[in-house]
Amino acid sequence: MPTLFVSHSTFDRPFVESQLIPFLNSHGVRTWYSKEAISSGSQWEKAIRDGLQSSEWFLVVVSPQAVSSEWVRCEVDWALTNRPNRVLPLIIGEASADELHLRLRLIQAVDWRPSSVDAKKRLIAVLEIQSTNDGRSASSRPDVKFDDYLFSRPKNWHCIFCGWKCDDSFNDYMCKQCNNFRPFSGGSSTMVKCRACEGFSLAVAQYCEWCGARIRA
């Protein structure tokens, strides 16, 4: 299982330490979070940076206190740049993830409030390593990314509406040719298989997300 960096406001530490961390650890997920105050600003920044760099996944606990935290905002900004496909917002209070960063609105958040049981199931499903058809973990293949929507998608993707190929490492969501947004959906979504490369794309696709071949006339 992966190592997960937990970004949170110090006001939310009781929730993190009493509910979130014990649950994740009990399911084999290694966690990194700031346990106590560090004496100097330079020591604090080094400790945070080391924790970020040593973690494969990034979870941000979203609350009104987190939205007001400069450190949480900085950590989110780092994660969206360095772990763009492995960022997971967890909402525990009356706040929206995009209040921390506009790009978080493109990521489906897990909401703890209506049902902690459902939220826990989703967390484990998201963090579980998924296998691809060739038997290798999605995370071990350079051409594949595994995001929080529970299916593998190509890093160098084709627009499913016009077939344009995106080679920009920083662009994970917008087609520069037809200006459509790359849709995201749940792992239970209906998929369509490409006859040319046998890759799977969302059922609404006109073109294969993997190879750009025309799926529908």
Which domains does the chain carry?
3-127 (3.40.50.10140), 132-217 (no CATH)
Percent of the chain with pLDDT over 90: 32
What pLDDT is stored for residue 184 in this prediction? 61
What pLDDT is stored for residue 128 in this prediction? 67
Sign of torsion over alpha carbons 165, 185, 20, 75: positive
> For residues 5 and 174, which has the higher predicted lDDT (pLDDT)?
5
Average pLDDT value for the chain = 79
Nearest residue to 152 (alpha-carbon basis) of 125, 130, 135, 123: 130
In this structure, are residues 67 and 39 in contact, taking their beta carbons and an 8 Å threshold?
A: no
Report helix, strand or coil for 24.
helix
Report helix, strand or coil for 97.
helix
The pLDDT-based confidence of 143 (bands split at 50, 70, 90) is: very low
The pLDDT-based confidence of 213 (bands split at 50, 70, 90) is: very high
* Residues paired with residue 153 on neighbouring β-strands, in sequence order: 145
Sign of torsion over alpha carbons 98, 100, 101, 107: negative
> For residues 39 and 111, which has the higher predicted lDDT (pLDDT)?
111
- Specify the range with the lowest mean pLDDT, choosing from 49-63, 95-109, 195-209: 195-209
CA separation for the pair 33, 20 (Å, rounded):
11
pTM over 0.85: no
pLDDT tens column, 146-173: 343 334 567 788 898 999 998 876 666 7
What pLDDT is stored for residue 92 in this prediction? 96
pLDDT tens column, 53-101: 999 999 999 999 999 999 999 999 999 999 988 899 999 999 999 999 9
What pLDDT is stored for residue 217 in this prediction? 66
